[in-house]
Chain A
Amino acid sequence: MKKIFTFIKDFLIERIIFLCGILAIIFVFLIFLFLLNQGISFFGAYSLWDFLGGKFWYPASDPPQFGILSLVIGSLFVTIQAALISIPLGVMTALFIAEIAPPVIKDILKSVVELLAAIPSVVIGFIGMITLVPLVRKLFNIPTGLSSFSGALMLAFMAMPTIVSISEDAIRSVPWSYKEGAIALGATRWQTMYRIILPASLPGIMGAVMLGMGRVIGETMAVMMITGNAAHIPSSVFDPVRTMTATIAAEMGETVKGSTHYHSLFAIGLVLFIITFIINFIADTFMRKTRR
């Protein structure tokens, strides 16, 4: 009797777990379909070429202009800068935590870095707006501190936890035998790290970097508060930029449901979805390589 009960319980729990797993896939798929459905109808009213290649974003004007070139460039520009700042910092922090730091410091550092991930982005944005923006303006003597550079600095902070903790896992999963081999050959600590550990964990680190970038490009609140939101193609890192995410967030509340403007925001969402999908796909490919 008890056996049958256990059997049924096992069976049910297995099904529930299966359902949960499948649900995630269904949701992603449904979200994509919804975006596609809402976004595609935009191209009935506006040409795809003008949308992707247009430089001007004046959605509330008459006639409206829906060119997202400057928005896409804005998003990528901020993301690349954030990458240049956060990758060296993040990977070196991960190396330090995994290889050099004594256990006590290691524990403290790890939990503090993870705590960084817990700060809501609106708080980061607010702190950036009050402290970083005036500082950047005075430091570089530029017209305004609301620039892609300030945004990238703040975003680099937000990408750090992802990059550090996943890189650290990758570095720690390098087999001991590799290190023993290197040390046996007379390599110094730095030589071991640089020649053996880093190359061995590189795919994992690349995966970490791509995931971090995925977070940066999708980040909304902080960039909306710090980057200035001027929809033009930046000519230097100190120019303000407007990102795709900030545009959606700032304008979604106002649009009349079903209008061209409303659908155009979904079309931006679609572009964003495709970009993050590609980034995640690359990250996944790298992560898979590490496991082999």
Chain B
Amino acid sequence: MTAVKWHIICLIITGVSLYLISCNRKPGSSDQQEYKKAIQIKGSDTMVNLVQAWAEEFISNHPDVNLGITGGGSGTGIAALLNHSCDITMSSRSIEEKEMEEAEANNIHPVEFIVGLDGLIIIVNNENPVIELDLDQVRDIFLGRIDNWKNTGGYNSKIVILSRESNSGTYTFFKERVLKRGNKNSKEEFSPHALLMPSSQAIVNEISQNPHAIGYVGMGYAHARVKSLKLKDTSKPADADPVAPTIDNVLNGSYPISRPLFLYTNGEPSGNIKVFIDFALSERGQIIVRETDFVPIK
């Protein structure tokens, strides 16, 4: 019994001393609102790797700044900006009108920065013999109209559709661009048989071990364990070559599914938030964009 008591006392002492130490390290910085020491960044899962790469380099130059980066999806990030629970939102889609109204109602003024471009890649298992699809085929697969690989030149097996959850910017972008073809009144929906995966990494994992699966992820998730398909734009002449998802093809606009990547702040950024965004847009920041398999804007 006494042994237990001693354990508890030791635990309390350790806890209290740890707390005191941590207090000492972070002196109250109420006078330094302008130069916030802790910046919360939240949003698109697609951009997490990119922003993390920026953050690593940024922190080595500004060791006193603390960056907290979490994913969850663009919708989650924008919701967080509206709830004051983050300073910078990463988003792979532009803010919607409805969200903008919501923001103004909450006295928040989102400011938009385009920090890079992303191509969505359609990925399949390495054992899948299919190497290219046209956009109509991709659409019909995800709508559930084509449900067997043999209809697209593959083996005779059922197609397993992998999608992201509806809170993902990638989901919204794919639906608008590929399923609805930019037509706002279109009623096209993902097949109800589509498996909704909690993250892009989960899609890559499942596809790397399942030869029947197809999915879409940002270019940053291209990986040797999965195969990215070449795509043919059906609005172009029939003899046009299918286009591989490379940085050059996104930059020259020939790859059909690409999108801008955004950072949002509340009002014009100042202090360390501004320093961070300037860094992201700087030459070095844009080199990191290319290194993480996205497309720089400059």
- List residues of chain A with CB under 8 Å of any chain B CB: 55-56, 58-61, 70, 129-130, 133-134, 137, 143-146, 224-225, 228-232, 240, 242, 250-251, 253-257
B194 and A254: CB pair below 8 A?
A: no
Q: Which of B76, B98, B196, B213 contacts A253 (CB 8 A)?
A: B76
Rounded to whole angstroms, the CA-CA distance of A262 and B148 in the bound complex is 36
Chain A residue with Cβ nearest B188: A61
Interface of A is mostly: loop
- Listed by A's residue number, 27 A-B pairs whose Cβ atoms lie within 8 Å are A56-B192, A59-B166, A60-B171, A61-B189, A143-B158, A143-B159, A143-B212, A144-B160, A144-B206, A144-B213, A225-B202, A228-B195, A229-B197, A230-B193, A230-B194, A230-B196, A231-B196, A232-B192, A240-B193, A242-B196, A253-B72, A253-B76, A253-B79, A254-B165, A254-B167, A256-B82, A257-B83
Whether A254 touches B166, Cβ cut-off 8 Å, given contacts A61-B189, A143-B158, is yes
Residues of A within 8 A of B157 (CB): 143
Q: Which of B76, B171, B195 has the most CB of A within 10 A?
A: B195
User: In the complex, how many angstroms separate the beta carbon of B138 from the nearest chain A beta carbon?
Assistant: 19
A256 and B99: CB pair below 8 A?
A: yes
Whether A255 touches B195, Cβ cut-off 8 Å, given contacts A61-B189, A129-B205, is no
B75 and A254: CB pair below 8 A?
A: yes
Judged by a CB distance under 8 angstroms, whether B210 is at the interface is yes
Rounded to whole angstroms, the CA-CA distance of A51 and B235 in the bound complex is 39
User: In the complex, how many angstroms separate the beta carbon of A44 from the nearest chain B beta carbon?
Assistant: 19
Rounded to whole angstroms, the CA-CA distance of A146 and B83 in the bound complex is 35
Q: Which of B75, B98, B157 has the most CB of A within 10 A?
A: B75
Chain A residue with Cβ nearest B80: A253
Whether A144 touches B195, Cβ cut-off 8 Å, given contacts A250-B165, A250-B167, A254-B73, is yes
Judged by a CB distance under 8 angstroms, whether B57 is at the interface is no
Q: Which of A225, A230, A231 has the most CB of B within 10 A?
A: A230
Q: Which of B79, B159, B212, B213 contacts A254 (CB 8 A)?
A: B79
User: In the complex, how many angstroms separate the beta carbon of B105 from the nearest chain A beta carbon?
Assistant: 11
- How many of chain B's residues touch chain A, expressed as a range? 20 to 34
Residues of A within 8 A of B79 (CB): 253-257
- List residues of chain B with CB under 8 Å of any chain A CB: 72-73, 75-76, 79, 82-83, 98-99, 102, 157-160, 165-167, 171-172, 189, 192-198, 202, 205-206, 209-210, 212-213
Residues of B within 8 A of A130 (CB): 205
- In the complex, the number of residue pairs spanning A and B with C-beta atoms less than 8 Å apart equals 86
Residues of A within 8 A of B83 (CB): 257
Chain A residue with Cβ nearest B171: A60
User: In the complex, how many angstroms separate the beta carbon of A146 from the nearest chain B beta carbon?
Assistant: 6
A143 and B189: CB pair below 8 A?
A: no
Whether A146 touches B206, Cβ cut-off 8 Å, given contacts A58-B189, A231-B192, is yes
Q: Which of A134, A240, A256 contacts B195 (CB 8 A)?
A: A240
Rounded to whole angstroms, the CA-CA distance of A58 and B189 in the bound complex is 8
Chain A residue with Cβ nearest B185: A62
Residues of B within 8 A of A60 (CB): 166-167, 171-172
A253 and B167: CB pair below 8 A?
A: yes
B212 and A144: CB pair below 8 A?
A: yes
User: In the complex, how many angstroms separate the beta carbon of B146 from the nearest chain A beta carbon?
Assistant: 14
Q: Which of A61, A137, A250, A256 contacts B196 (CB 8 A)?
A: A250
Whether A229 touches B196, Cβ cut-off 8 Å, given contacts A60-B172, A253-B167, A254-B75, is yes
Residues of A within 8 A of B166 (CB): 58-60, 251, 254
User: In the complex, how many angstroms separate the beta carbon of B167 from the nearest chain A beta carbon?
Assistant: 3
User: In the complex, how many angstroms separate the beta carbon of A245 from the nearest chain B beta carbon?
Assistant: 13
Rounded to whole angstroms, the CA-CA distance of A120 and B6 in the bound complex is 29
A254 and B99: CB pair below 8 A?
A: no
